[in-house]
Amino acid sequence: MSDPIIKFDKVVKRFGDLTVLDALDFEVMRGEKVSIIGPSGSGKSTVLRILMTLEGIDGGLVTVGGEPLWHEPGPDGLRPASEAHLRKMRAQLGMVFQQFNLFPHMTVLRNITEAPVKVLGLSKADAKLRAEELLERVGLADQAQKYPHQLSGGQQQRVGIARALAMRPSILLFDEPTSALDPELVGEVLNVIGQLAEEHDLTMLLVTHEMRFAREISDRVCFFDQGQIREEGTPEELFSDPNEDRTREFLKAVLD
């Protein structure tokens, strides 16, 4: 666990005049389970989206597995990454979205097999086998032929998780995976994520408002505020005995 699998080095991200990340330093170790908490608009999603290559950066360096993500080596040092480089890097990452983002015109099975067949080059039979195993794992073995709109939100999100896992990423990003769900459906999704957290090799980055859950599964919790990590530590440290006033205020507000 000595070298970080994810490293943000003085990363700057702006949207127009708004500086969302202002020289952010952030590291995640291989296999580590990190939860990101913090107020809305503090840049939590932006961090995940930069990693998933959905947003570029305006300064600094992001490395994944020791390699620059948004840059590649050129004749005179680093230059902006080409699409080919991004494609290669993206293969290490998977993402679970707040709104699930399933493909509505594809069956559950097809949602899961599409990328393994088209991107990884798996045969349809192998991809189907892989999908069925994953559906079994997320408790949806009998739903393979359904379309997303025929499923509950909790089931859809579990398909979203299976879809991301089918690409065998070494890093899995969760952006508020239960925030769009009715309260009674949150548990079934957290159960699945909790099981994944048992996997030693999988690196997990979870943005969530489920504080109890974050406390249970995380190795480390980071409190984001205004594009900075205001405070971080083990769940024990951060939740029971925060150092910063901002952290205390935030926790008080969300736990009430």
Partner 1 sequence: MLFGFEWDLSSPLAFALSILPILLIGMWVTIQAAVLGFAVALVLGLVWAVLKAARSRFIAWPASVVTEFIRDTPLLVQLFFLYYVLPEYGIVLPAFMTGALALGIQYSAYTSEVYRAGLEAVAKDQHEAARALNLSAARTFTHIVVPQAVPRIVPAMGNYLVSIMKDVPVLSVVTVLEMLNVAKIVGDRTFDYLVPLSMVGGLYLIMTLVASAGVRLLDGWLPKQGIPLK
Ligand X SMILES: Nc1ncnc2c1ncn2[C@@H]1O[C@H](COP(=O)(O)OP(=O)(O)O)[C@@H](O)[C@H]1O
Q: Point out which residues bind Mg ion (CB under 5 A).
A: 45
| 3-state DSSP assignment of residue 93 | strand
Overall size of the chain counted in residues: 256
Stretch that binds partner 1, among 57-65, 134-142, 147-155, 243-251 (CB under 8 A): 147-155
Q: Does 141 engage in binding with partner 1 (CB under 8 A)?
A: no
Spell 14-23 as b/e; 16+ CB within 10 A means b.
eeeeebbbbe
Based on CB atoms, which residue is closest to partner 1, 91 or 251? 91
The span of 11-19, 27-35, 113-121, 208-216 binding partner 1 (CB under 8 A) equals: 113-121
Among residue numbers 217 through 256, which ones bind partner 1 (CB under 8 A)?
Answer: none
Strands, sheet with 203-207, edge to edge from the N-terminal-most edge strand: 93-96, 171-175, 203-207, 33-37, 220-225, 228-233
- Of 19 and 170, nearer to ligand X (C-beta) is 19
Copy the structure tokens of residue 164.
Answer: 């991301």
What whole-number distance in Å separates Cα of residue 34 and Cα of residue 156? 24
> Could you list the residues that contact ligand X (CB under 6 A)?
15, 18, 20, 40-46
- Angle, nearest 10°, between helix axes 183-197 and 153-165? 20
Closest CB 173 distance from partner 1, rounded Å: 9
Q: Does 170 bind partner 1 (CB under 8 A)?
A: no
> Shortest distance, CB of residue 206 to ligand X, whole angstroms?
12
14 binding partner (options ligand X, Mg ion, partner 1, none; Cβ < 5 to 8 Å by kind): none
132 binds, among Mg ion, ligand X, partner 1, none (CB under 5 to 8 A by kind): none
Q: Least CB distance from residue 121 to partner 1, whole Å?
A: 12
The CA distance from 178 to 157, in Å, is 8
User: Which structure tokens are listed for 112?
Assistant: 């899961």
Q: Are 11 and 50 in contact (CB under 8 A)?
A: yes
Interface positions with partner 1 (CB under 8 A): 52-54, 87, 90-91, 93-95, 97, 99, 101-107, 110, 114-115, 118-119, 147-149, 163-164, 167
